[in-house]
A and B are shown apart, each in its own frame.
Chain A
Amino acid sequence: MTYKDFDLSRRTFLDRVLMAAAGAGMTAAAPWAAIAAGTAAATSDRVRIGVIGTGDRGRTLIQNINKTRNCMVAAICDTYEPNLTKARAWIGAGTRTFSDHRAMLDAGGLDAVVIATPLNLHAKHVFDGFDAGLHVWCEKAMARTIPDCSAMVKRSQDSRKILQIGHQRMFHPTYLNALRRAKAGEIGSLTQIRASWHRNNSWRRPVPAGVSDRQINWRLYRDSSAGLMTELATHQLQVGNWFFDAVPTRVMGSGSICFWKDGREVYDHVALIYEYAGGRKLIYTSLLNNARYGCEEQIQGSKGTIEPELGRIYQELPPKALALQRMRKEVARGQKRTVPIGGATWFPELPVTTPGESLGWGEYDETMLQFEGFGEAVRANRALPGLLAQAYAASVASLLGEQAMDRGEALTWPTSLVTI
């Protein structure tokens, strides 16, 4: 891709985000989108970012930061040298590298930190970033416990520093367009969302010599992760809250280590029901031994369904007019008309397989846009509105779901959360 091509597709992408964000009801539903997409003129005064954690995800973030027009990677840090070595391929020759995040913070020269470390370290790294006087962008989920999530929000408020959490779907033009169309009433009243993230692999990474399984496979152990709930479900719970424009009132669920009995501690099978006001529900499943239904949110309304991962919108089929019923009524009125028949044999209640229509506006670089929005927020010292509330609710929902499964109880939404 030439720079010109990149610039054109970037402009198209941003235009689509702006168009979606301008829809009725979207200012309240996604106030961050227009701000993020409407800014970021190229500048020499870039926001200087230190990246803590340069594993797979951290390196992806570095690449996206490099694409922005208002941010730059000024330093990187990882305790695992091979990760640093790989990350050096994506940074300038003069970019400083550290094996201790405290040393990086103490060295100064940063405006913000990006945190892409194991989940149980997020809170500590966020606190250290705030203590160093920096703004913080942190990968989702926020933290390993609900109190830590709350403490992160509180520390952000107290320090008057920005805390932004990585939920890229909130910047994805297809999702924004899906929300716009739902807000416009195209699929009627939303009553249920079925969300799933199904994979068929162990989720286990090979462990190189010199490091422990728990370091590499931290997602599989309870002290460092809630597994499927914090690493996958949190994305889709955010989507559910977003489309319902609410947080759940209650959650119940069942979790098990059903297939991968390899010493892991986190569930490889989860099924939960999140209840929302008015009887609405989000039904969530995630598993690691069947990929047939993959990753999707089926947003179901009285007039249609949206499946944003597939990028499709489906209208409910009108009830079939039964020709002979109509004929009987006409005869009663003394009318004799030709009866159209042969519509096809009627099969009862099978899934509707109509193709629907494209939602339009596929993905481009929503993670890049997140950082441009973050850069703008850092420059203005004003958080993009709405983002942290969405992320906080999604993280709490994922961790509350874990607790509900562990206890085998329906749990109500906590009342002790920090007000944003």
Chain B
Amino acid sequence: MSIRADVERFMAMGTRVELHRFGPAGADDALRVARRAIEAVDDALTIHRPSATTALNDRLLAGQDAPIDDPVLLDALLSVETVHEATLGLFDPAADRRFSGSAWHGIVFDRATARLRAPYPVAVDFGGFGKGFALDRACAALRAAGVTTACLSAGESSIAVIGAHPLGGGWPFAVPHPFDSNTLLVEVELLDQSLSISATVGAGAAAPERSAMLRPDDHAVITAPRCTVAVAASGALAEALSTALLVADPARADRLLDRDRANRFRFDLTPA
């Protein structure tokens, strides 16, 4: 008996998004609801067109208190607080080469009143975190609609799965070497987890819309050929971890890797 499957494909967050649902039908509009969840994140977090985030940045750059009225943005900022901590501060959406010393830890986030304040000009750029965060919200929407088996992708560098593979067990994924597609960097199996891949090389790494990878504390631009992979319980954390591993100095990279060697990987791609 063949397994029922349906899919929703669309552009969001500057990449191709695919939502694959398998197994017994849930609510008929589950995929559309999940899509709207992702598009809502895109609308709230983008800095490439007017959004709640650009409005926030306008106020922070002007040295003003910034009230957070958008619930998606507020949720994203709360998530940033968590993953910033979990990545030793190496995932930092406020790191900005334009402003020396700009960093997330300098921003005062008053959760009770949903306001941000910064003592210096600063702007927030969620970057790839937004994709993982969006997949998390889409997963939540699918689960709420009764979906038990699904695979979600944002540009194939951000993956989230719901439940087990339709044929049982984990969802097997492999990350090829960016310079040699016949060589695999790592194979992983996901089960109700998310995966994120970050790299300084490969197709798309030099695309004009992509920002430089910055180490937050010294604002060093990371150019060494490197690829990182992180598997985590949430897309937001997986994205933050893969970014943190990419920009980390060797000592902090080891600290992050040592916490979960089975799910965190960093590959030096410097030619031998």
Q: Which residues on A are within 8 Å of B, measured CB to CB?
A: 322-325, 327-328, 331-332, 334-348, 350, 353
Contacts and interface: CB of A to CB of B under 8 A. Distances in A.
B173 A339 contact: yes
B205 interface: yes
A332 B176 contact: no
Given A342-B156, A342-B176, A332 B5 contact: yes
B contacts with A: majority SS: strand
B2 A350 contact: no
A350 B155 CA distance: 15
A303 B20 CA distance: 32
Nearest to A353: B206
B272 interface: no
Interface string B217-248: 00000000001010000000000000000000
Contacts of B16: 322, 346, 348
B112 interface: no
A336 to B, nearest CB: 4
Interface stretch (B33-41, B86-94, B118-126, B207-215): B207-215
B25 interface: no
A342 B175 contact: yes
B226 to A, nearest CB: 13
Contacts of B197: 341-342
Contact of A344 (B3, B174, B199): B199
Kindly list the 8 A-B residue pairs having the minimum CB-CB distance in the complex, ordered from nearest.
A344-B204, A342-B197, A338-B172, A345-B155, A344-B203, A336-B167, A342-B175, A347-B207
Given A331-B22, A346-B156, A347-B207, A340 B174 contact: yes
A209 to B, nearest CB: 52
A339 B204 contact: no
B144 interface: no
Interface stretch (B7-15, B49-57, B71-79, B135-143): B7-15
Given A327-B151, A332-B5, A341 B156 contact: yes
Nearest to B187: A338
A390 B208 CA distance: 42
25 contacts: A322-B156, A323-B156, A324-B151, A324-B153, A325-B7, A328-B7, A331-B165, A332-B2, A336-B165, A336-B168, A337-B172, A338-B174, A339-B171, A341-B174, A342-B229, A343-B156, A344-B156, A344-B199, A345-B204, A345-B207, A345-B210, A346-B155, A346-B156, A347-B14, A348-B14
A324 B176 contact: no
Contacts of A347: 14-15, 204, 207, 209
B67 interface: no
Given A341-B159, A345-B155, A331 B176 contact: no
Given A342-B199, A343-B157, A345-B156, 17 more contacts: A322-B18, A327-B151, A331-B3, A331-B166, A340-B173, A341-B153, A341-B156, A342-B227, A343-B176, A343-B202, A344-B204, A345-B15, A345-B210, A346-B155, A346-B204, A347-B207, A350-B207
B157 A334 contact: no
A343 B204 CA distance: 9
A120 B159 CA distance: 68
A346 B156 CA distance: 8
A322 B16 CA distance: 10
Nearest to A341: B156
A325 B19 CA distance: 10
Contacts of B5: 328, 331-332
Contacts of A348: 11, 14, 16
A339 B166 CA distance: 14
B167 A334 contact: yes
Contacts of B101: none
B223 to A, nearest CB: 17
B15 A346 contact: yes
Contacts of A339: 171-174
